[in-house]
Amino acid sequence: MRRILPVVLLGFLSGCEDTLSAQPFVSDRQFRAALPSAERHTLDVIDASDGYLGMAPPVPGTWPDLVQLSLDVGGDLNGITLACLELVESAAATEPSYRSETSREWGPFEGTDRVTYSVEVERRSDTYTWDLRSSAAGANTLERACAGEHLSGAVALADGTGTLDISLEAWPTLDGAVGNLYTEYDLTDGQQFRIEIDGLGGPNQRAEDGRYFFRHRPGGAGDFQYRTTILLDGEYEGLLEVRTRWQSDRRGRSDAVVWIESSARRFSFSQCFTEDDRFAWRWTDFQDGGSYGDAAQCVHETAAAVDEI
């Protein structure tokens, strides 16, 4: 009888030891959930029906110009972001190469285009910081190419808030590319992004600056706003502001303003589109100006300025 208690205690302690040693492996999914993904951390300009901005693919010749511009801008931003996120997702799909109670590491890996990369994540309470380091194959060190921070959501870890910072100079496959893209995101209720680009450009290209706000609600309605520097006719410095709003029934409106700095001139454009993606009405004060179509079909009666940037 004297030996029962020690044996029971040894069994209990042995069970505790197994549980503690297994804990880092069980929680791999938490570290993965804190990492950004291509699905959740890019502008959702394509919905489940393969439509754009909540709308079906356009009939040739009927697509509102300002909406197409917004699609192009969103696609360009997504393209830069995906350069980072696709490598992050590829790494996190494998088993970690290192585990501790508060960190995970994946890699280094040899990727396409002879790029070597690795991903590291550190956890402090409900906050996760991560970075992706990469270099051309054979380089002695890996440089930080993109990084971020994620604060766990109240309901689900992945449905939180955070940041994403991408440096184009650090990408070994983008020879001569310069500039940064910085994103603040909120995934607690749909998608919300605040994006800044600073000095973004490539070899023999003009560097651009821009600010962007994107909101896509769970029901399908959304708001995309941006302000960016432009070069008109190859010589005139200008500033472009665009705001495109859409409802869950796919009707919406785009409003734009262009300023030409050298002449202090200002031009405005507005377009409304219907649920079948056709022009309902458009107006401009550029050149001869004019109004075309039926303004009564506009789901938003008045123009809306960029107000989130």
What are the percentages of helix, strand and coil residues in the chain, rounded to 5?
A: 20, 40, 35
Residue 25 has a pLDDT of: 52
pLDDT above 90: residue 13: no
Residue 182 has a pLDDT of: 97
160-184 burial, b at 16+ Cβ within 10 Å, e below that, comes to bebbbbbbbebbbeeeebbbbbebe
Q: Which pLDDT tens digit goes with each residue over 24-33?
A: 554 899 999 9
Residue among 204, 225, 186, 190 nearest 70 (CA): 225
| Res. 64 pLDDT band, cuts 50 70 90 | low
**280 vs 147 pLDDT, higher one:** 147
Instruction: Assess contact for 161 and 140: CB atoms under 8 A.
Output: no
Where is average pLDDT lowest: 67-71, 92-96, 269-273? 67-71
Residue 10 has a pLDDT of: 27
Residue by residue, DSSP assigns 264-301 as TEEEEEEEEE-TTS-EEEEEE-STT-EEEE-GGG-SS-
Amino acid of residue 285 = D
Q: What H or E segment, with its residue span, contains residue 89?
A: helix 65-92
Cis-peptide into 58, omega within 30 deg = no
Classify 307 in phi/psi space as left (phi over 0), alpha (psi -120 to 50) or beta. alpha
pLDDT above 90: residue 303: yes
Residue 63: other Cβ atoms inside 10 A = 18
Domains of the chain: which residue ranges? 27-297
Mean pLDDT of the chain: 83
**113 vs 230 pLDDT, higher one:** 230
